[in-house]
Amino acid sequence: MAGNSGVPAGDVGSPLDGIKVLDLSRAIAGPYPARIFADLGADVVKVEPPEGDVADVFGARRSNRSGLFAQMNAGKRNIRLDLKNDDDRATAVQLAGVADIVIENYRVGVLARLGLGYDTIAASNPGVIVLSISGFGQTSPEAGRRAYAPVLHAESGLLLRQSRFDGDRPVSDIAFNAADTLTGLHGAIAVLAALQMRHSTARGQHIDMSMLGAIVASDDYVHYVLDDEPVVASRGLVFELDGWSLLLAGEVKFLWSVLSRSNGLVDEGGGSPADKQLRRREIIHSWLRSMPDRGELVRHLEAVGLTWAEVKAPEDIMHSATFLADPPYTEVADPDGSPRRIVRMPYRFSEATVAVRGNAAQLDEHAAAVRSDWLGRPEAS
């Protein structure tokens, strides 16, 4: 386990050492790629408004920071700036003027009106890469709409499709901010590509990242829509066994073909295809329940090449064999000295270090240091 800094001893260098990232974003979609860049070694400065980040209300509150805020902003430096204030806005412009990357997810047009739009920043800093995240894109007819993850889950078709797959159950949102996370990942990829391109052009660029576009581009079912085909669900089947739930990857037709061949399962009934599917699922379920114990069942599934999973409770995931061997988190020290667990990025490089570089900073904790390091002002100012 890494120490409080999250940086292993004998650090061999990180992929983004020396890169300056100005994080003007809030919530998840923007802070997430900035957090990735921090783990990759960049010097990330989070600009937080006086009222705080909207993410700083979700989860356990420790040392004046919430669980969600801690995960999204670990390892970043923090400066408080009110962009409605002339002096603070001027500081933000100066910071953007020396940044390699600027990330923002304000409503379309807001930063441009404040003098922090791409054209203004690039005029004095032509190498800057600005990632602008919005719900529907910078120039779409819906560019001005407010958007959070549930809005994109609904408008992308994800929620209604899920409802149809679950037997037309009432539509409800999913317990995962997929739109934010997918947008953040696509944003990180786009920025890294722009950084690579800058090596040959010496110029940065403006990246317009739509949350709706990101979730649709990540949707492995979208081909049905593009091909005007009815959607066919490709999901695992869950079977309730003795005290646990088992998921088998594949539909009834596939599972039946494997188990009838390997175990001689027989279905002599007739009826419609739907009736046959339901009956064969129950035959499979009965066979699963007939196994003497879980170990024997798992050994058999492995032997015949079926892919399985235990349906686990979220609170049990950290106890999985994989994570017990390689924990997906590290511990950092909060200001009061107490440890806080922060999730690590899942990248394992052979020749570079990727690590959590500290806790989520307090509001304005690094104001003097940032002004000194980035703008050359005396740290006492």
Say if strands 77-80 and 129-134 run parallel, antiparallel, or are unpaired: unpaired
In this prediction, residue 379 carries a pLDDT of 66
Kindly list the domain boundaries of the chain, sorted by start residue: 20-224+317-375, 251-306
* Range 5-27 average pLDDT: 81
Multiple choice CATH, 20-224+317-375, 1.10.275.10, 3.40.640.10, 3.40.50.10540, 3.40.50.150: 3.40.50.10540
CA pair distance 98, 87, nearest whole angstrom: 17
Kindly report, residue by residue over 30-44, the tens digit of the pLDDT: 999 999 999 999 999
Say if residues 117 and 124 touch (Cβ distance below 8 Å): no
Residues annotated as catalytic are 180
Kindly report, residue by residue over 75-100, the tens digit of the pLDDT: 999 999 999 999 999 999 999 999 99
- Sign of the alpha-carbon torsion through 184, 176, 72, 310: negative
Mean pLDDT of the chain: 93
* Range 103-111 average pLDDT: 96
Kindly report, residue by residue over 156-202, the tens digit of the pLDDT: 999 999 999 888 899 999 999 999 999 999 999 999 999 999 999 99
Question: At 380, is the pLDDT very low, low, confident or very high (cuts 50, 70, 90)?
Answer: low
**pLDDT value at 2 more than 70:** no
CA pair distance 21, 6, nearest whole angstrom: 20
